[in-house]
Amino acid sequence: MRRYWVPAALSSELPDTDCSPIRVRLLGEDLVAFRDSEGRLGLLEEFCAHRRASLYFGRNEEGGLRCAYHGWKYDVSGQCVDLPQQPAYAPKIAICSYPCVEAGDVVWAYMGPPELRPDPPSVEWATIPGGQRYVSKWLQYSNYLQGIEGAIDSSHVSFLHRYEIEQNPLLKKTAATDFIKGDPNPEFDIDRTSGGLIVYAKRRDREGRAYYRITQMLMPWFSFPPPFGQHPLLCQAWVPRDDESCMVWSISYCTDRALTAEERAAMADGGGINVTYVPGTFLPVQNRTNDYLLDRAAQKAKKTFSGVAGLVAADVAIQESMGAIVDRSLEHLVHTDKAVVETRRMMLEAARAHARSGTTPPGVSGESQRIRPGCVILRAEADVREFLKEGQLRVGDRPVMSV
Ligand SMILES: [Fe+2]
């Protein structure tokens, strides 16, 4: 994971020069992020080299972050630039820092070896004008992989989201709804790409047609679920804070138009693939401390399948319900878990190859990140790969089709 750019913070969390520093937890490390007087981004280990006070309580002023305890001050590179008690000692003192870039309203950090720093993030939503995207994030108390395994698993939509796919104001009822409800047993097929996987989930109807939901998984934490109705395209990322929690990023974007004010307002209100928050936090209002506001009456009345309202809240509830790190040795997988299996296989292979010989893992190169999801209805006997052909899902083309 240290070979990739890591989504670290919303740009809006660091709105101005000399703004308040924020805490960031990434890949098991406690960090503090700030924007200095010249607008440069700093991402430093959270604790002062002197007596280990948290720099979160520091003063962000005059080109650096100054510890509130005894006034030691660090620039964005982690170098101590002022040490009031013993000034000559300052050049010898530095704390860990990671380089950052800003793209797509997100501050990305690179936590790997400096000489292997990759191309800047090239996922499509990070390269289009800001008016065409909406970015949000929330805290999830599970291992990141449980999130990805949900995102690439189209089969759960026929159950967990069964009633809500018709009710979400940003989704609307479409032909897709009938296929998803009508065929709970999709056939999975998978292609490997240079950055991850293309997952085809095929559902049939009685008229001999097939609806394909084509999800892309991009290493090491992205998923691009297929478009639904007129909803903007989606990308999600499950970024580990540590082994037992992750930050879930959700990006809704249009490649050919700005989002409307109504769409933005609905997303800010928790619509689509977004949430509302416990004030002052990134914790969803529906969370594990209140059973996600489980409503058994709504479940009985078939308003929701699980009793948990909302597409995101239902996913979070289920993924957290498995425990922070689910014990995979107790699972019983079936044919609709093909994408789950292939994702695990690909990640294990990449991790082992990297550990063995430093092999660059899939999805590091900018080229491998320029992908889109899609969906299409074809005759059931048609070959979806024939239809898609090489490159048809890449940036620059329209999404295959919206239904
Ligand atoms: Fe889901």
CA of 393 to the centre of ligand 1 (A): 23
What single string gives the DSSP state of each residue in 140-201? ESS-HHHHHHHHT-GGGGGTTTTTGGGT-TTT---HHHHHHHH-SSPEEEEEE-SSEEEEEE
* pLDDT tens profile 214-267: 999 999 999 999 887 678 899 999 999 999 999 999 999 998 899 999 999 999
CA of 400 to the centre of ligand 1 (A): 22
CA of 229 to the centre of ligand 1 (A): 17
CA of 398 to the centre of ligand 1 (A): 25
* pLDDT tens profile 182-219: 999 999 999 999 999 999 999 999 999 999 999 999 99
Instruction: Reply yes or no on whether the pLDDT at 169 is more than 80.
Output: no
φ, ψ (nearest 5 deg) of residue 344: -60, -45
Q: What is the pTM of this model?
A: 0.95
CA nearest 189: which of 348, 336, 371?
336
Task: Quote the pLDDT of residue 171.
Answer: 64
* pLDDT tens profile 342-400: 999 999 999 999 999 999 999 999 999 998 888 888 889 988 887 776 545 544 444 45
Instruction: Reply yes or no on whether the pLDDT at 170 is more than 90.
Output: no
CA of 50 to the centre of ligand 1 (A): 46
* pLDDT tens profile 53-74: 999 999 999 999 999 999 999 9
CA of 117 to the centre of ligand 1 (A): 33
- Any residues with CB less than 8 A from the CB of 353 and at least 6 apart, and which? 359, 361
CA of 316 to the centre of ligand 1 (A): 8
Cα radius of gyration (the chain): 22
CA of 273 to the centre of ligand 1 (A): 10
CA of 62 to the centre of ligand 1 (A): 46
* HSE-CB of 48 using CA atoms within 13 angstroms: 25
